[in-house]
Amino acid sequence: MFTLPHTGMQVPDTRIRVTSLKEVDLGTGIAWSAVVRAGKTKLGTVSNSGRGGPTDFNATTDAAQRRTAAFVAACRDRDGAPMDTENVMETLTEEYEWARDIAKAEKKGRYVVRYADEHGMPGHYEFSLSRGITPPDYAPALKATVRLKLPEGAVRADLWMGPELGWVEIRRPADTTNE
């Protein structure tokens, strides 16, 4: 089993992944569709209408459906629990989004911090360092995180430190509810 770097999902085969994503903001949600491939072979598409409904996977062939079902049956979440098709497809899409967003940020010489608020709602932002320090020079970025102000309500934050180290927790804001 392999652990994916951005979501922690455990997969039996890293060749099965989302390779493209299209999104449309509906004003009340984001509708999206993504292509799922095994290497260069298209297995199908995954989509969500953005209106609170399920995420659906539509295989290109019966063989693609069987291969995807076997893949899903072997996948585990970050805690080792089995996952259903909907959760696997959403997590593969999230993995794709993180990789895409990090690549864009690093191309601009910026670092990426992801965070979650007290309700588990995720967010992320980018920052840069002066004097031409850019990824993949991650050590100065880690040192600089002590000066970063986390968004209000953030209860956890991680810095992307590249494929070798992955996401590194940079801090948890102190609990101020009892002050």
Does residue 77 sit in the same domain as residue 113? no
Looking at the structure of the chain, the number of domains it has is 2
**Residues of the chain with pLDDT > 70: what percent?**
96
Within-domain flag for 149:
yes
Percent over 90 (pLDDT), the chain = 74
Average pLDDT over residues 29-41: 95
**How far is 32 from 50, CA to CA, in rounded Å?**
7
Task: Identify whether residues 75 and 126 lie together within a single domain.
Answer: no
Residues 70 and 152 in one domain: no
Q: Is 137 a domain residue? A: yes
Q: Is residue 122 part of a domain?
A: yes
In this structure, are 85 and 54 located in the same domain? yes
Residue 131 has pLDDT above 50, yes or no: yes
Say if residue 74 is in the same domain as residue 94.
yes
38 shares a domain with 82 = yes
Which amino acid, 26?
Answer: L
Q: How confident is the model at residue 173, as a pLDDT?
A: 58
Q: In the prediction, which pLDDT does 179 show?
A: 39
* Same domain assignment for residues 72 and 113: no
Query: Same structural domain for residues 79 and 26?
Result: yes
Residue-wise pLDDT tens digits, 55-108: 999 999 999 999 999 999 999 999 999 999 999 999 999 999 999 999 999 999
| Assigned domain for 179 exists | no
Q: Nearest 10 degrees: CA dihedral of 145, 151, 157, 160?
A: -60
What pLDDT, on the 0 to 100 scale, is given for residue 175? 44
Residue 174's pLDDT is what?
58
Task: Calculate mean pLDDT across residues 124-150.
Answer: 89
Residues 124 and 59 in one domain: no
The domain of 123 spans: 108-171
